Amino acid sequence: MTMPVLLHAAFGLLRQLEPLIVLEQLGSSLFDTALLMVVKDRCSNVTEPGKSREESQQKAFTDFYMTYNLIIRLVPILPALLLARLSDRGWRKAPVVVSLCGYLLSRVALLLVVLFRLPLEVMFGAAVLFGLSGGFGAFWPGVMTLVSLRSTAKDRSKVMMRVELLYGAAGLVGSLVSGHLFLLYSSSLGNGTILLSVGTVVNLLSLLHSIFLLQVKQVRSEEPEGNSHLLTSSSDSSSVVEPPPKINKVNVVLLFVAAFLYDFAVGGAVEILGAFVLKAPLSWTATQVGYGNAAGCGIFLTSFLGVIVFRRCVSDVTLILIGMVSFASGIYFMSFVTTTVMFYLARSLNLFALIPMPTIRSLLSQQVPASLCGTALTCLQLTLKFAGLAYIPAFTKIYQRTLEWFPGFVFILASIFTVLGMIPVSIIGCRLARRRQYERIEED
């Protein structure tokens, strides 16, 4: 009897969302390291008149990533909206399945670039295919919509952060092994072939899981509306009600502004971080790049622990502010990093930097009717896409122009924009506090 029970439990686990998240992020972390190192190798011999060799390499490297990242943020906008509409009409798995097809095609494209020594520009075409499938702008809102359907308003913040934790843990493992896999070499294959082959297989498994195993289910809250809190705290400041029958427009706008500014800061800094660690004085190898990516993924773990600890005594708004302060301080310190040890010290200040975005998503889901949750989350993700269209060229060009005299200047800018993002969050906190006070007066 024990074996059938175990098999049934294992099959039930496989039908959950968690295995899909692990597989997708494992494949993505392997791909990210591979793409970074392939681009570095292709740019290693680039020289431009009037510029040093390192400056020429950095310009070629950042120009490639600027174009590539602009494509994967611009092209998915319309497909992601269409997939969100399908999701809200009952096709809940559509954004996940279709976007994973694009993930797989882009991984195969990079593998072909390495195997057949194709021009690096082939990856621009792969980015277009990735975007036409909806990309991350369709995949992640699709995942978050499924998470929202599986949880009550009381537990939604915790469940969303748990998903972020799992996503980060998978990225941590993938990043740790990615550098070592990249260096595996055979006489007939070049560096990165084995890494990309493994990553492609993992992404294929995630696609097959989403098609054949993933189960969509919805949990309906049985609790009275007055007891439906996002955070299980006795503090009045942490009380959040069930989604309202109509949209709270002011709060939604403030949340979108805060998300835009914070993503502008975080995305801009991360956009440059890859190039920053490859240049002197750090000059990282593939293995060190993997470890650095793992440190970034480790922030998922520390952010989750931060939510578990802080949610007992503070509100969602305070959680967001804690995360923003964490990122602002760490990225400011990153401006002056000259050694690997200093890099990890700066990263250690970012312990709670990933708390704001899932908490903003959770708050957003409380400001709109449940029937519009998928569309709202997708619109938020598309807002972040537009932030990317702004910060990618802005931070890239600023970095190129300040490379000689202060390469860390872009990180100071990121810190400033993070502080600006704290303003709308603080306004939301005041509005929610006044609303709760008004409700208490009405009850009395």
The pLDDT of residue 431 is above 60: yes
Host domain of residue 193: 7-443
Within a domain: 2 = no
Say which residue, 183 or 153, is predicted with more confidence: 183
State the residue for tokens 């709109």. 368
Q: For 336-386, how does the pLDDT look when each residue is reduced to its tens digit (9 = 90+)?
A: 999 999 999 999 999 999 899 989 988 998 888 877 777 788 789 778 878
Q: Specify the pLDDT at position 240.
A: 44
Question: Is 437 buried (19+), middle (13-18) or exposed (0-12) by CB count in 10 A?
Answer: exposed
pTM: 0.84
Taking residues 272-293, what's their average pLDDT?
A: 94
Q: Range with the lowest mean pLDDT among 30-44, 89-103, 180-194, 415-429? A: 180-194
Distances (CA, A) of 309 to 149, 306, 354: 25, 5, 15
* DSSP line for 373-441: HHHHHHHHHHHHHHHHHHHHHHHHHHHHHHTTT-TTHHHHHHHHHHHHHHHHHHHHHHHHHHHHHHHHH
> Could you give the 3-state DSSP secondary structure of residue 297?
helix
Tokens of 2: 């024990």
Inter-residue contact 53 to 47 (CB < 8 Å):
yes
Q: Range with the lowest mean pLDDT among 2-11, 366-375, 421-430? A: 2-11
142 phi, psi to nearest 5 deg: -60, -45
Inter-residue contact 415 to 331 (CB < 8 Å):
yes
- What is the tally of structural domains in the chain? 1
In SS3 terms, 363-385 reads as HHHCCCCHHHHHHHHHHHHHHHH
Q: Range with the lowest mean pLDDT among 52-66, 160-174, 409-423? A: 160-174
Taking residues 112-117, what's their average pLDDT?
A: 93
The pLDDT of residue 233 is above 50: no
Inter-residue contact 70 to 389 (CB < 8 Å):
yes
Tokens of 68: 């590539």
Q: For 237-261, how does the pLDDT look when each residue is reduced to its tens digit (9 = 90+)?
A: 344 445 565 777 899 999 999 999 9
Measured CA to CA, the distance from residue 280 to residue 67 in angstroms comes to 24
Question: Is 50 buried (19+), middle (13-18) or exposed (0-12) by CB count in 10 A?
Answer: exposed
Within a domain: 1 = no
Q: What CATH number is attached to the domain comprising 180?
A: 1.20.1250.20
Within a domain: 83 = yes
pLDDT tier at 37 (50, 70, 90 boundaries)?
very high
Within a domain: 283 = yes
* DSSP line for 88-144: HTT-TTHHHHHHHHHHHHHHHHHHHHHHTT--TTHHHHHHHHHHHTTHHHHHHHHHH
Q: For 307-340, how does the pLDDT look when each residue is reduced to its tens digit (9 = 90+)?
A: 888 988 999 999 999 999 999 999 999 999 999 9
Inter-residue contact 240 to 227 (CB < 8 Å):
no
Q: Specify the pLDDT at position 392.
A: 95
Q: Specify the pLDDT at position 155.
A: 75
Q: Specify the pLDDT at position 244.
A: 61
346 phi, psi to nearest 5 deg: -65, -40
Within a domain: 84 = yes
Within a domain: 181 = yes
Inter-residue contact 314 to 160 (CB < 8 Å):
no
Within a domain: 41 = yes
Length of the chain: 444
Within a domain: 171 = yes
